[in-house]
Amino acid sequence: MSARRIVVLGATGSIGRSACRVAKDLPDRVQIAGMSGFRNMARLAAAANELRPEALAVPDAAAEAELRAGLDYAPAHIFTGEEGLVRLASLPGAEMVLVAIVGTGGLRPTLAALQAGKDIALASKEVLVVAGELVMAAARRGGRRILPVDSEHNAIFQCLEGHEVRHVKRLILTASGGPFRTWAEDRLRAVTREEALRHPTWRMGEKITIDSATLFNKGLEMIEARWLFGLGIGSIDVVIHPQSIVHSMVEFVDGSVLAQMSHSDMRFPIQYALTWPERLAGSLPPLEFARLGKLDFEEPRYDVFPALDLARQAAGRGGVVPAALNAANEVAVAEFLAGRMAFPRIWEIVAGVLDETPDAPATDLETVLAADGAARRAAQRLAAV
Ligand code: NDP
Ligand code: MG
């Protein structure tokens, strides 16, 4: 079997770098045809020099100059701007696009890749939260697949293989609980940036690490699961599992539960998505159960971490409301990371924006992006007071 040619959007990020390690581990099966970076041109140049993709995408001409200075080969294309990302996502000859851009920046390139007949390996959950209906419809129209990279969804995808969705009773997403899992509620107002960025089990980009601390990450993942697997939000539950070994579970109507397990290393789900339906021996570490000793499970503290209920509420209202939830959260996380507001303000702002957001169907991309823009402005206004 020949190598699958893959474009990596967000190659300089946490997921992008893990994907490059997978490609280096399996050179006969995974070939990186394209890469994008945003701010970190030195890292993009270093990764490109190693894997030699034919096409690269960067935000502007200044970034292109910086990138060229660091390259030791001449790629066939260096695309620039938002249009450049779309062109990279549509690169002729590439079969699959790994979308690993943080936030909503991955939405247009995902739609372009589907339109160009590529399969998607999706890390950017925000893309499905904002426009799940449109993205899934585009995939169906083109007969393309969306292979989940998010570890929970990759786990569920694996547990569902060979099974029928009508036999599923519920999906159970596991959550580490984040750094504040056991903290008293009254301590949360004084949480620092450093404390919130200290995730107990995963090393990830800053935005998703904050989302894991508020539990908005799990809220976004409930909505992501709803679109990927076509189940109602009422059939998607969350359980806290501090060790992050069971990545999620599927309960069937007969009461049987299938779980997927591995170490908490994103190379597992990335490799499975990039090489599916093959299972390939690489350099990933095996689980040693006797050394793990035990696995714990507990109920989320819904009253202390309102993110889960807010996400459930947004999913229940549907239409553009999840896009508003996501946009408000992106703004609030950026404000918290900039040191301009207290940690619990993140969910207070999201709740405030949801209250202001009118219900409307997500008919097309413009409608969704308009709701996203309105929610961002509302969140900025609420953050400023
Ligand atoms: P990082 O912050 O580490 O990386 C983000 C990537 O996106 C970088 O390559 C960055 O480029 C690029 N980027 C940032 N902003 C833009 C923009 N506006 N336009 C184009 N490119 C941009 O994030 P992660 O890798 O942690 O996460 C990426 C996505 O994957 C997120 O949606 C996250 O929720 C999801 N995910 C991540 C997991 C993880 O373990 N990290 C697990 C499951 C899901 P540069 O660095 O050059 O500025
Ligand atoms: Mg996840």
User: Please, are residues 176 and 201 in contact by the beta-carbon 8 Å criterion?
Assistant: yes
Q: Sign of the CA dihedral 203, 337, 36, 74?
A: negative
Average the pLDDT over 347-354 and give the result. 98
What is the distance in A from the centroid of ligand 2 to the CA of 152? 5
Q: What is the pLDDT of residues 185-219, one digit of tens each?
A: 999 999 999 999 999 998 999 999 999 999 999 99
Q: What is the pLDDT of residues 40-85, one digit of tens each?
A: 999 999 999 999 999 999 999 999 999 999 999 999 999 999 999 9
What is the distance in A from the centroid of ligand 1 to the CA of 208? 9
Angstrom distance (rounded) from CA 248 to CA 239: 9
Angstrom distance (rounded) from CA 251 to CA 160: 10
Tokens of 14: 């946490």
CA angle, residues 7, 11, 15, in degrees to nearest 5: 105
What is the distance in A from the centroid of ligand 2 to the CA of 81? 29
Q: What is the pLDDT of residues 155-193, one digit of tens each?
A: 999 999 999 999 999 999 999 999 999 999 999 999 999
What is the distance in A from the centroid of ligand 1 to the CA of 162? 32
Angstrom distance (rounded) from CA 62 to CA 373: 27
What is the reported pLDDT for 232? 96
Q: Which atom of ligand 1 is nearest to the CA of 103?
A: 32
Q: Decide: 40 in ligand 1 pocket, CB within 6 A.
A: yes
Q: Decide: 216 in ligand 1 pocket, CB within 6 A.
A: no
Q: Where are the chain's structural domains?
A: 4-148, 165-263+290-312, 318-385
What is the reported pLDDT for 201? 92
Average the pLDDT over 132-150 and give the result. 98
Q: Decide: 13 in ligand 1 pocket, CB within 6 A.
A: yes
Average the pLDDT over 127-142 and give the result. 98
What is the distance in A from the centroid of ligand 1 to the CA of 103? 7
Q: Decide: 123 in ligand 1 pocket, CB within 6 A.
A: yes
Contacts of 141 (CB under 8 A, 6+ apart): 114
What is the reported pLDDT for 251? 98
Q: Decide: 266 in ligand 1 pocket, CB within 6 A.
A: yes
Mutate to test the pocket of ligand 1, among 41, 88, 102 (most ligand atoms within 8 A of CB): 102
Exposed e or buried b per residue across 342-371, where buried means at least 16 C-beta atoms within 10 angstroms of its C-beta: ebbbbbebbbbbbeebeebebeebebbbeb
Is residue 282 predicted with pLDDT exceeding 90? no
Q: Decide: 177 in ligand 1 pocket, CB within 6 A.
A: no
Q: How far, in Å, are 48, 229, 248 from residue 252 at the CA level?
A: 44, 14, 13
Q: Decide: 39 in ligand 1 pocket, CB within 6 A.
A: yes
Question: Quick one: which H or E segment has residue 348?
Answer: helix 345-356
Q: Decide: 15 in ligand 1 pocket, CB within 6 A.
A: yes
Q: Decide: 148 in ligand 1 pocket, CB within 6 A.
A: no
Q: How far, in Å, are 87, 116, 249, 266, 284 from residue 270 at the CA level?
A: 23, 22, 18, 6, 12
Q: Which atom of ligand 1 is nearest to the CA of 207?
A: 2
Angstrom distance (rounded) from CA 69 to CA 41: 10
Q: Decide: 16 in ligand 1 pocket, CB within 6 A.
A: yes
Q: Decide: 380 in ligand 1 pocket, CB within 6 A.
A: no
Q: Decide: 124 in ligand 1 pocket, CB within 6 A.
A: yes
Angstrom distance (rounded) from CA 346 to CA 324: 14
Taking the whole predicted model, whether its pTM rises above 0.85 is answered as yes
Q: Which atom of ligand 1 is nearest to the CA of 211?
A: 34
Q: Which of 306, 206, 290, 293 is nearest to 243 (CA)?
A: 293
CA angle, residues 165, 158, 140, in degrees to nearest 5: 55
Exposed e or buried b per residue across 88-118, where buried means at least 16 C-beta atoms within 10 angstroms of its C-beta: bbbbeebebbbbbbbbbbbbbbbbbbbebeb
CATH superfamily of 4-148: NAD(P)-binding Rossmann-like Domain (3.40.50.720)
Nearest ligand to the CA atom of 215: 2
Nearest ligand to the CA atom of 153: 2
Q: Decide: 340 in ligand 1 pocket, CB within 6 A.
A: no
**What is the pLDDT of the chain when averaged over all its residues?**
97
Is residue 377 predicted with pLDDT exceeding 80? yes
Question: What's the CATH number for 318-385?
Answer: 1.10.1740.10
Q: First and final CA of the chain: distance in angstroms?
A: 59
3-state DSSP assignment of residue 318: coil
Residue type, 274: L
Q: What is the pLDDT of residues 215-259, one digit of tens each?
A: 999 999 999 999 999 999 999 999 999 999 999 999 999 999 999
Kindly indicate the confidence band of residue 14, based on its pLDDT and cuts at 50, 70 and 90. very high
Residue type, 155: A
- As a whole-number percent, the residues of the chain with pLDDT over 90 amount to 99
Q: Roughly what angle, to the nearest 10 degrees, separates helices 321-337 and 206-214?
A: 110
Give nearest CA residue, ligand 1 atom 36: 123
Is residue 325 predicted with pLDDT exceeding 80? yes
CA angle, residues 44, 45, 51, in degrees to nearest 5: 90
Q: How far, in Å, are 87, 206, 219, 266, 347 from residue 14 at the CA level?
A: 23, 10, 21, 9, 25
What is the reported pLDDT for 1? 73
Q: Decide: 152 in ligand 1 pocket, CB within 6 A.
A: no
Question: Quick one: which H or E segment has residue 7?
Answer: strand 4-9
Average the pLDDT over 279-307 and give the result. 96
What is the greatest pairwise CA distance in the chain? 61
Nearest ligand to the CA atom of 36: 1
Nearest ligand to the CA atom of 106: 1
61: exposed, middle or buried (Cβ count in 10 Å: 0-12, 13-18, 19+) = exposed
- As a whole-number percent, the residues of the chain with pLDDT over 70 amount to 100
Q: Please provide residue 255's backbone torsions phi and psi, each rounded to the nearest 5 degrees.
A: 95, -10
Average the pLDDT over 344-349 and give the result. 98
